[in-house]
Structure 1
């Protein structure tokens, strides 16, 4: 994990979670395996429960996903905060991942996703994508999440802590209160998105 990614997540905690210091929060980190650092120290508040989640057993991994795109071992609406950093560029079908993030978020819950807009190819095991604000805005719309903030750290003048190679893009969203009809439509959309992956063409 590069320093600017950690700083961006620190900024998210300071701006969006500091008012919940005395509230119990369930927080899950998607792609949490500690390869060269993790966000866990940022969520050490005694009232917060941090849970690391990844696709394989490893350091800082509490939950191993049963399926990369169908998180059946994580209940819907079970987390107050979902974070993910330096994972989305490695996810082949990230539009399904954002739907699962929206599914496991509680209504009113927050998510923060950080991914590079630049940088060299770094397969772990694959490196598929780079993200810009327009792309993250589209993901928010696709998943029904309300956009709170999105930015790319393009230059040092605007973002003193930016990394000139990776130029992080940051997405911060909130899950809205949903009607029963909206929940049914969301669940159907999520189910169809997953089922398409199993079609043999």
Structure 2
């Protein structure tokens, strides 16, 4: 599994399609914290809202880094779709967690309001939870669930756009509500659990659809 994860990660980096979501993420993050972004946890709500769609986008990039023929070869070489999709999920989560860490550290350096270690940990947990939710949504509609990239993009875009107006009905809403009110809440932990379940469910669904 380790060698498969390394191969897929190297393939994503070599293809450079990851640069588009990464540059969007860095650009918007820079704008969010170019001035006083507010109290520590409130400031984290903006970067968390940004991280969700970016991680969904990055998950689609990871899941579709190989064309159909190369992916079939990888599946045969790896011993089945379950191993490949498991490795895809690991790579997507690694990318997402790296961005979550960056998003949690960025305002500590740039925001004029001082951060306590507890606030940083809450922010890191919130970003990780949101990142997992994004990865889960991205993988849920990627290959082999949907073979056509157009259908994948449309489905992921629709789910992401519809998530925001639903507010506290969704796990993302739980996180943003807690951060927006400058509160430490167990809802962040539950959102992380939902995100992890969503990622695992996307892998299981993909194996069944393969």
Same fold (TM over 0.5): no
Q: Per chain length, whose mean CA-contact separation is higher, i.e. which structure has more relative contact order (CA < 8 Å, sep 6+)?
A: 2
Q: TM-score, normalised by structure 2?
A: 0.32
When you count strand as a share of all residues, which structure comes out higher? 1
Q: Which has the higher helix share?
A: 2
Q: Which is higher, the Rg of structure 1 or of structure 2?
A: 2
